[in-house]
C-alpha cells in the first residue's frame, strides 16, 4: 500500500477528526461544526481552471447552503498563502457565467503535507500522487458521514446534485422515508415496508407490489420541516 493511501471513511461512521490551518484560521473538524451539516470538499490545486469554476460556484451559493444549516469547508494540497492569493484573483479578475466579484466566505484548508487528504482518501494514485481528487463528503450534525461523491481531476462537479443530496438526506431524516431514483423535492417518496404486511401501508400510499410503495410528500411540507424553501 502506498504511504499516502489509507482506508477511506465509511458511511454511517463518525468522520476522522483533525485540526488544520485554513484561510479563516485554525479549525477543529468536525467539533467546530456540531449541530450543523457540513460539506467537506477537495480540489486538486489552486490557480487551475476547473477548480476556479467550482470555487466560484460554491462561493456564489454559500448562503443557499447555509440556509439549509450547512457549512462548506474546502481543501487542496496548497498552502494558505496560495489559497488567499487565488481567492483574491478570483474576486478581482474572474467573471464566469454571471458570477463576478465573488468573495469566498468559507474556509479552505492548508494541506501541503497532504495529511487531511490522506486521512480522507482524497489522494487517488491512479489520478495523481500529489493532488487531491474532487471528493465531496456530506457530514451530518452529529459528525457522521452520510454520503460521499468522488470525481476525477478532469470533471467538474454538478452543484445541483450536491444540493439535491443534502436536501435528500435532510428529508430522509425529517420524515423517516426513503427516496427513489432522480428524486427532487415534491416528487413521491418511498414508504419503508416490512415484509408483505399491507395493513401497515399508510393512508394515501400507492403500492406497485408488496415491497414497493410510494406516497406524496409536497415540496412545501419539506420546506416547512427544513426551514427553507427547497
Closest CA to 38 of 29, 26, 25: 29
Q: Are strands 70-76 and 95-96 parallel, antiparallel or unpaired?
A: unpaired
Measured CA to CA, the distance from residue 14 to residue 33 in angstroms comes to 13
> Does the active-site annotation cover 51?
yes
Burial class (CB in 10 A: 0-12, 13-18, 19+), 1: exposed
Closest CA to 120 of 45, 38, 18: 18
Longest Cα pair distance anywhere in the chain, in angstroms? 63
Q: Confirm whether residue 184 is marked as ligand binding.
A: no
* Torsion of Cα atoms, 95 then 97 then 153 then 55, to 10°: 60
Q: Return the residue matching grid coordinates 426551514.
A: 227
Task: Give the residue ranges of DSSP H helices in 128-197.
Answer: 159-175
Measured CA to CA, the distance from residue 217 to residue 212 in angstroms comes to 16
Q: Which of 51, 70, 207, 213 is catalytic?
A: 51
**Residue stretches of the annotated binding site for substrate:** 134
**Residue stretches of the annotated binding site:** 134
Show which residues are catalytic: 51
Amino acid at each position: 500500500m502506498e504511504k499516502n493511501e489509507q482506508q477511506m471513511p465509511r458511511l454511517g461512521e463518525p468522520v476522522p477528526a483533525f485540526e488544520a490551518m485554513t484561510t479563516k484560521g485554525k479549525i477543529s473538524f468536525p467539533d467546530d461544526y456540531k449541530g450543523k451539516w457540513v460539506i467537506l470538499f477537495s480540489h486538486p490545486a489552486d490557480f487551475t481552471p476547473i477548480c476556479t469554476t467550482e470555487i466560484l460556484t460554491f462561493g456564489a451559493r454559500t448562503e443557499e447552503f447555509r440556509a439549509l444549516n450547512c457549512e462548506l469547508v474546502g481543501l487542496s494540497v496548497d498552502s494558505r498563502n496560495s489559497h488567499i492569493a487565488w481567492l483574491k484573483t478570483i474576486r478581482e479578475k474572474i467573471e464566469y457565467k454571471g458570477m463576478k466579484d465573488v468573495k469566498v466566505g468559507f474556509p479552505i484548508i492548508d494541506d501541503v503535507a497532504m495529511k487531511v487528504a490522506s486521512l480522507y482518501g482524497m489522494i487517488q494514485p491512479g489520478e495523481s500522487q500529489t493532488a487531491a481528487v474532487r471528493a465531496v463528503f456530506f457530514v451530518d450534525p452529529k459528525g457522521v458521514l452520510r454520503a460521499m461523491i468522488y470525481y476525477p481531476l478532469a470533471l467538474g462537479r454538478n452543484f445541483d446534485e450536491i444540493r439535491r443530496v443534502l436536501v435528500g438526506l435532510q428529508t430522509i431524516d425529517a420524515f423517516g422515508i426513503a427516496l427513489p431514483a432522480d428524486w427532487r423535492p415534491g416528487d413521491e417518496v418511498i414508504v419503508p415496508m416490512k415484509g408483505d404486511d399491507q395493513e401497515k401501508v399508510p393512508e394515501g400510499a400507492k403500492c406497485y407490489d408488496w415491497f414497493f410503495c410510494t406516497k406524496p410528500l409536497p415540496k412545501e411540507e419539506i420546506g416547512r420541516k427544513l426551514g427553507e424553501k427547497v
